């Protein structure tokens, strides 16, 4: 069985829409369902996993953001080119000012690309502490057909928050790996994620998102080939592989 990366086919006429998300960026103390001591993380609307954002090409993504942290924050839509809207690119103190504690900001991002992306905090490595969200943009006339569509977003969850991690790196000149980070899939420990069901003779799209802050992961399905067709919203020449390596 071949695993294809394809795009959802939408029949009929679909008009561009405004996809609005109201996000309160907050602290939360959590173990993320792991058998590790809880620590402080950063999330949206006080919940983990943070629900993925779904949209279509031609839509406008509206992010109404309130910063409930005690430090500035900003959001970067990873893989979105932001042609003509680089002031919404989320790189604080470079393309925009950060969102001050207690303040609000609205991102209005035209979605002119189809593909698989993610949104993450871009101030003080807040993605390390959990501020990362999958973003999937469908297109009306995709070049590929498939029978089902799965998204797998990979995260690392470290036993310490970023400020403690950085302090260890700067003072001891080592990366703290005892204990090592744990892997989350779609915001959950792997044994809590839903089972993916495949049927012989059918074609599936699997969207792989590396939302990792540091380690890399490899994805494979025993006894099957994978066909890569898209990277960061850009269609590529099809390449058949046994393993897909995802960098941070």
- What is the average pLDDT across 114-133? 95
pLDDT band at 15 (very low <50, low <70, confident <90, very high): low
**What does the pLDDT read at residue 164?**
92
| Cis amide leading into 49 (omega within 30) | yes
pLDDT band at 119 (very low <50, low <70, confident <90, very high): very high
Lowest mean pLDDT among 170-174, 200-204, 213-217, 234-238: 213-217
- What is the average pLDDT across 117-127? 94
**What does the pLDDT read at residue 199?**
94
pLDDT band at 92 (very low <50, low <70, confident <90, very high): confident
Element at 94 (helix H, strand E)? none
What residues contact residue 247 under an 8 Å CB cut-off, 6+ apart?
A: 210, 212, 216
Sign of CA dihedral 209, 213, 218, 219: negative
Per residue in 133-166, pLDDT tens? 999 999 988 888 999 999 999 999 999 999 999 9
Query: Alpha helices of 142-205 — where are they, by DSSP H?
Result: 162-172
On the question of pLDDT at 12 being above 60, the answer is no
Backbone angles phi, psi at 128, to 5 degrees: -55, -35
On the question of pLDDT at 9 being above 70, the answer is no
Q: How far is CA 58 from the centre of its chain?
A: 20
pLDDT band at 221 (very low <50, low <70, confident <90, very high): very high
**What does the pLDDT read at residue 7?**
35
- What is the average pLDDT across 107-116? 95
Query: Alpha helices of the chain — where are they, by DSSP H?
Result: 162-172
Alpha carbons 248 and 243: distance in angstroms, whole number: 16
On the question of pLDDT at 220 being above 90, the answer is yes
pLDDT band at 232 (very low <50, low <70, confident <90, very high): confident
Q: Which residue has the higher pLDDT, 1 or 194?
A: 194
- Residue 248's Cβ-side half-sphere holds a number of Cα atoms within 13 Å equal to 11
- What is the average pLDDT across 190-207? 92
């Amino acid at each position: 069985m071949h695993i294809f990366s394809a795009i959802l086919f939408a029949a009929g006429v679909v008009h561009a829409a405004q996809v609005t998300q109201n996000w309160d960026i907050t602290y939360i103390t959590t173990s993320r369902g792991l058998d590790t001591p809880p620590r402080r993380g950063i999330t949206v609307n006080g919940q983990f996993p943070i629900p993925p954002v779904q949209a279509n090409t031609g839509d406008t993504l509206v992010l109404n953001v309130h910063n409930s942290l005690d430090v500035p924050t900003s959001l970067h839509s990873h893989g979105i080119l932001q042609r003509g809207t680089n002031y919404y690119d989320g790189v604080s103190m470079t393309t925009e000012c950060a969102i001050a504690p207690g303040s609000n900001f609205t991102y209005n991002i035209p979605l002119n690309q189809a593909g698989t992306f993610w949104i993450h905090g871009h101030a003080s490595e807040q993605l390390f502490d959990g501020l990362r969200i999958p973003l999937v943009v469908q297109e009306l006339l995709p070049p590929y057909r498939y029978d089902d569509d799965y998204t797998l977003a990979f995260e690392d969850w470290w036993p310490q928050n970023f400020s403690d991690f950085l302090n260890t790196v700067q003072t001891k000149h080592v990366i703290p790996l005892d204990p090592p980070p744990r892997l989350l899939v779609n915001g959950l420990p792997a044994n809590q994620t839903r089972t993916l069901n495949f049927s012989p003779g059918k074609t599936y799209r699997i969207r792989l998102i590396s939302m990792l802050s540091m380690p890399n992961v490899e994805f494979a399905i025993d006894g099957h080939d994978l066909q890569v067709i898209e990277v960061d919203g850009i269609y590529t020449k099809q390449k058949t592989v046994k393993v897909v390596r995802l960098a941070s």
